[in-house]
Amino acid sequence: MLNPLSTQILSAMIAFPNAKINLGLRILKKRSDGFHDIETCMYPIGWQDAVEIIEHGKLELSITGLEVPGDDKSNLCIRAYKLLQKGYGLPNAKIHLHKIIPFGAGLGGGSSDAAFVMKIASEIFQLFLDDDLLEEVAAELGSDCPFFIKNKPAIAGGKGNDLTILNFNPDGYYALVIYPNIRIGTALAYKNVIPSADGISIEEALSYPIAEWRNHLHNQFEDTIFPAFPLLQDIKEELYQQGAVYASMSGSGSAMFGLFKEAPQTAHWSEKGYSIWSGKL
């Protein structure tokens, strides 16, 4: 499993927030608060950003790597730090984010960055906040954020922040994750979904051999996203043609992934100009 935090050096620390993929996703019903109840398995992968916090005279954010939309005030890293600052009187700091995980891909990169800012700040300034408390605070920022506190495979229910750690490890399998330069916002993804509680649970689907997941494990967002973005369905079909035992969209897209018994070939996808990550699960 991933080792997220580096060694503390004075009042500075660097960490490497990682992405996640969704193994199946069910949209069960629309809630009275406007959100949806979902069920999914979130699984951490090694596609990583880098974030550093240094005690500083004023609260600042600098970003390198991929472009991140929005201003500093709306950035999840700043919002995460301010939540702890308000609650625990933290000093100001400079946060530097090197962005590698694609944005708007269904990989949880922004949520991971925010969660790791909280974990770094808690360690640097010796708050000694336990994971359960950090999860509560992280939930104020977004549904995916609490997952990245413990950063272990989990079944996520409710809005996505009711987590049950899953003793599950597809040992020996490789993942190939492809971001085809299509950005899909959450609002767009949910726009045409038809919630349904029909079918088996995600946990039951995962109990089948991985070679049988294709018949049991489904991301319901594909039903409405694929007609709008047919390239994503083409990528899924090509992953199967290349030998994937299971292929799916992650979250609300647009990243697609395949699981392979052997290390997959990646040159074909790089030549298309897509962002990719491949590694063992």
Residue 250: cis peptide before it, omega within 30 degrees of 0:
no
**Cα–Cα distance measured from residue 100 to residue 46, given in angstroms and rounded to the nearest whole number:** 11
CB 258 within 8 A of CB 240: yes
Options 20, 99, 119, 152, the catalytic residue: 20
- Return the bridge partners of 43, or none: 21
Assigned token pair, 261: 């018994």
Instruction: State how far the Cα of 218 lies from the Cα of 176, in Å rounded to an integer.
Output: 18
d(CA 142, CA 159): 9
Q: What is the 3-state secondary structure (H, E, C) of 134-179?
A: HHHHHCCCCCCCCHHHHCCCEEEECCCCEEEECCCCCCCCEEEEEE
> Is 20 annotated in the active site?
yes
- Distance, in Å, from the CA atom of 178 to the CA atom of 104, rounded to the nearest integer, reads 13
In our burial notation (b when 16+ CB lie closer than 10 A, e otherwise), range 142-179 reads bbbbbbbbbbbbbbbbbbbbbbeebeeebeeebbbbbb
Q: Are 144 and 186 in contact (CB under 8 A)?
A: no
Q: 144 catalytic, yes or no?
A: yes
Which one from 99, 113, 144, 152 is the annotated catalytic residue? 144
Catalytic residues: 20, 144
